[in-house]
Structure 1
Amino acid sequence: MSDVNLPPLPPTGGEIPGRSIVDVVAAQHRELLGLTERLTASPDDPAVASVLVATLSRHLCAEEQYLYPAVRTAVPGGEQIADRELAEDQAILERLRDLERTGDGRDDLAEAVRRHVAADAEELLPLLEQMVPSEDLVRLGNRFETAEEAAPTRPHPSTPSTPPWNKVVDPLVGVADKIRDVISSRATYVRDL
């Protein structure tokens, strides 16, 4: 049985479809790095800033809902790692809010994103991959992607960042954000650029 505290798998007799959370997060990190490069290369393009804010807001929300709780449960010393990552994510959300409000802080945000990606790639994801069975990594990946789609598209540093409350509040705030996005015709995905 898994140490990640997920409901049991249905008895299908086959492999679980989907990508592991490690693969999902790594792919999103590549996308985020590409967006930060575009942001610093074209600082006068508000659409790039808008897409980065939305993509990073969704990503951090999903990490808070599924990645960090898995790390807390399955990785020795996971409490400290997750707490450190949550503090760094909080700082990123505040930088995102500043970027969205004033357009300032692009370089600081880009550096914070690079640090976030490096910390996950060098420590957090390899530890998770070693400690959690591959079936559970795929299940977490599926849940991560679902949570990301329901997540807010704007930074909300004052909302809860740990379960269970973030799993309740984030989708509600996400609906409000998405309504605002539609009304304002705001770009929120890379495909919108």
Structure 2
Amino acid sequence: MNLPPLPPTGGETPGRSIVDVVNAQHRELLSLLTKLETEPDDPKVKSVLVAVASRHLCAEEQYLYPAIRTAVPGGDELADRELAEDQALLLLLSGDDMGAATAAIRRHVAADAEELLPMLEQMVPSEDLVRLGNRMETAQEAAPTRPHPSSPSTPPWNKVVDPLLGVVDKARDAVTGRKTYVRDL
């Protein structure tokens, strides 16, 4: 299992920054979109895409958006806008219109890369970015593998509810044999 690094024992904080973590997750999402375009009838690809996107959005809601709210001028408006777009994306992932979901994922990746992440990188010390990255990796592993658009999307409630939904989803995935990781393809 790929777990984030242990807390520091002195010196620099080990791990990847939240910017590196989010960018890696975005690359994974984009590669899944490409795979879905080449294999549109493969239910495993769609299943993995939905699971990866659901985990990613939950982790962003727990750590990226609160950091934006705190560190970036006008961060409340930015975070609220992103949360609304994420809720719309979760609804699309719940349905059958993968074309609209694909377009929404591409918009999500572009907005983060062009706007949110550069601002966060400028405003937050690198050690704090690494701590946020470690927490985001942990949150992603505990997150639900299915979209839950009606669940809480802001702390503290999402940090309580998301891991519980994650346990339920992972149990359902195990019982049904559903694939949820890129390595399963």
Q: TM-score, normalised by structure 1?
A: 0.91
Q: For residues 88 and 30 of structure 2, what CA distance do their matches in structure 1 show?
A: 17
The answer for unaligned runs of 5 or more in structure 2 is 1-6
d(CA) in 1 for partners of 2:55, 2:8: 32
Question: 1:149 is aligned with what amino acid?
Answer: E
Question: In the alignment, residue 146 of structure 2 is paired with which amino acid?
Answer: R
Q: Residues 133-162 of structure 1: CA distance to partner in whole angstroms, max 9, x if unpaired?
A: 000000000000000000000000000000
Q: What does residue 27 of structure 1 align with? A: 24
Is 1:54 the counterpart of 2:46? The answer is no
Taking the TM superposition and a 5 Å limit, the aligned residue runs for 1:1-193 are: 12-98=9-95, 104-193=96-185
Contact preservation (8 Å) 1:58, 1:148: yes
List runs of 5+ in structure 1 lacking aligned partners. 1-9, 99-103
Partner of 2:4: none
The size of the alignment, in residue pairs, is 179
- CA distance in 2 between partners of 1:109 and 1:11 (Å): 39
Ranges of 4+ aligned residues in structure 1 off by more than 6 Å: none
Determine the structure 2 residue equivalent to 1:6.
none
Q: Distance in 2 between matches of 1:13 and 1:151?
A: 30
CA apart distance, 1:56: 0.3
Give the TM-score normalised by the residue count of structure 2. Answer: 0.95
Read off the aligned partner of 1:141 and give its amino acid letter: G
SS at match of 2:141: helix
Of all paired residues, the percent bearing the same amino acid is 77
| Structure 1 letter corresponding to 2:136 | F
Aligned to 2:70, the other structure's residue is in SS state helix
Q: Which amino acid aligns with 2:151?
A: T
